[in-house]
Structure formats: structure tokens, C-alpha cells
Amino acid sequence: EDPIPVLQAEGLTKRYGRRVALSEVDLRVPAGRVVGLVGPNGAGKTTLLNLACGLLEPTSGSLRVLGSRPAASAAHLARVGFVAQNTPVYPSFSVADHLRLGARLNPCWDQDLAERRISRVGLNPGQKAGRLSGGQRAQLALTIAAAKRPELLIFDEPAAALDPLAREGFLVNLMEFVADLGASAVLSSHLLGDIEQICDYLIVLCEARVQIAGEVEELLAGHRRLVARREEL
Ligand code: ATP
């Protein structure tokens, strides 16, 4: 039998008042994938990720994440690590204070992993979080999400705070880290170029609908076939 999919949506619809953010979305993403979610502003990416974390409820249809219905419950949040677009930090708390807080809130907290990651990316444990750059803050948020030892990590535009030169290195490093954790991952971006290198499953959202979804290898093979056929003509 198939392993439990990372994401499974059927007729998933989300409205904010009269605005439709997701319309009748069907998805089935196999286990163990690094999933890239791309689309222009307002396509519905953040809405889909917030639904997956249990921060929002669908208007209609169904969504399962790792086989369960997402809920803002301790049990769901222990399995799913979420790094939001502008992750809030407590400005007057130090980096080390954030790790202590994480340890108190999460039963499976891996302090060793958190400390190694902090030192690897050059964060000073005594630094007040309010004084971190956008990129350093993104690293702190990632560390906190990963130290919970989740089965799935969800990132909403993880490279948004970084300059174009820093983006690629950051994302490759991020994906190596996720692979070491043995977790699945979903990350969103405006830019296909940012994530095509690191994802093995791609979802393209546009105006609340899924335009393309599939294994990157299959999508590329399909594209190559199309190009070859055109050259034959
Ligand atoms: P971006 O790349 O700009 O972050 P996105 O793909 O993440 O966009 P969403 O944030 O999911 O898109 O928004 C989808 C649609 O829903 C947009 O039209 C947006 O204006 C609308 N929307 C999002 N959040 C709300 C809200 N809380 N109330 C009303 N409308 C909202």
C-alpha cells in the first residue's frame, strides 16, 4: 500500500468573505518529497500553507496533512514545523532565550540540534532577537521549527528576506538540513528559479487554482518531449 501522502486535498476551497483564495483544489503529494509551491502574488500560497498548519479552516472540501486533518492542536503542531513569512520573534529576548522557550513548549525538543545549527550559521546566543537581520531571523525561526523534530517542515517564502546573491546558497543549505532531519518539506516562492533546483515535486498555483502539479522529473521529461516534437515538425 502507498505510504501516507504529505498533502492530500479534495475540493479544497477557502474564502475570505467574498474573496476566493483557493478554489476546488485537488492534490495528492506522495510522502518524503520536497515540495515547491510557486505562483504570483495573491495566488493562494500562504492560504494553502496556513490551512496545512491548522491556522485556518477550509470553507469547504478537505485537506489532510501526513494523513490527518490539520488542527491548531499540540499534536498536529508537534508533527509540522512552520516557518511563517515574517516570523515573529520576541525583540528583547536573546537567541538563547528563544531556544529555552522552545524547549519548554515542545516535548520532543532537540537542544543539541538547535545549538549546533545556531553556531553553524554564526548566530550569537546572547544577541537580542530584535537586533537580528532578516536573514538571521529566518535562520532562528528555522532552527526553532526544526528542533521540534517535525515530520514535515513548511516554509512560507523562506528566502524573501535575503538578497538575490544569498538566496541560492541559503536554499541549498536549507534543503540539505531538511534532508539530514529526514523530514518532508513544503516551501513557497514567487520565483520558479529559486526552487526548481531543490524541489522534487512542484505545485503551481494561479488565481486560487492549481495550474500544474507533479514530480519535477516528470514535468521536465514532458517538457523535453514537447520541445523534441516541435523540432521534428
Ligand atoms: P503572496 O505571494 O502575495 O504572499 P499568496 O499566493 O500567498 O500571495 P494569499 O496570501 O494566500 O496569496 O492570498 C490569496 C488571496 O486571498 C488574495 O487575493 C488575498 O488578497 C486574499 N486574502 C488573503 N488573506 C486574506 C484575509 N485575511 N482577508 C481577506 N482576504 C485575504
Residues 6+ apart with CB under 8 A from 110: 147, 148, 149
Position 1 scores a pLDDT of 57
For residue 18 and ligand 1, the question of a CB distance below 6 A is answered with no
Residues 6+ apart with CB under 8 A from 163: none
Pairing status of strand 19-29 against strand 7-16: antiparallel
Cβ atoms 201, 216 nearer than 8 A: yes
* Residue from 125, 152, 141 nearest 66 by CA: 152
Position 150 scores a pLDDT of 92
Position 66 scores a pLDDT of 93
The residue whose CA is least distant from atom 27 of ligand 1 is: 16
For residue 46 and ligand 1, the question of a CB distance below 6 A is answered with yes
What span, in angstroms and rounded, lies between the C-alpha atoms of 151 and 129? 27
Q: Which of 47, 51, 56, 205 to mutate to test the pocket of ligand 1 (most atoms within 8 A of CB)?
A: 47
Stated pTM of the model: 0.90
* Residue from 174, 186, 181 nearest 213 by CA: 186
- Kindly give the parts of the chain with pLDDT less than 70: 1-2
Cα–Cα distances in angstroms (integers) from residue 62 to residues 45, 70, 159, 165, 202, in the given order: 17, 10, 29, 39, 20
For residue 38 and ligand 1, the question of a CB distance below 6 A is answered with no
Residues 87-137 have pLDDT tens digits of 778 899 999 999 999 999 888 899 999 999 999 999 999 999 999 988 888
Would the ipTM clear 0.90, i.e. be above it? yes
What span, in angstroms and rounded, lies between the C-alpha atoms of 149 and 32? 15
Ligand 1: nearest atom to the Cα of 190: 2
Q: Which of 12, 13, 16 to mutate to test the pocket of ligand 1 (most atoms within 8 A of CB)?
A: 16
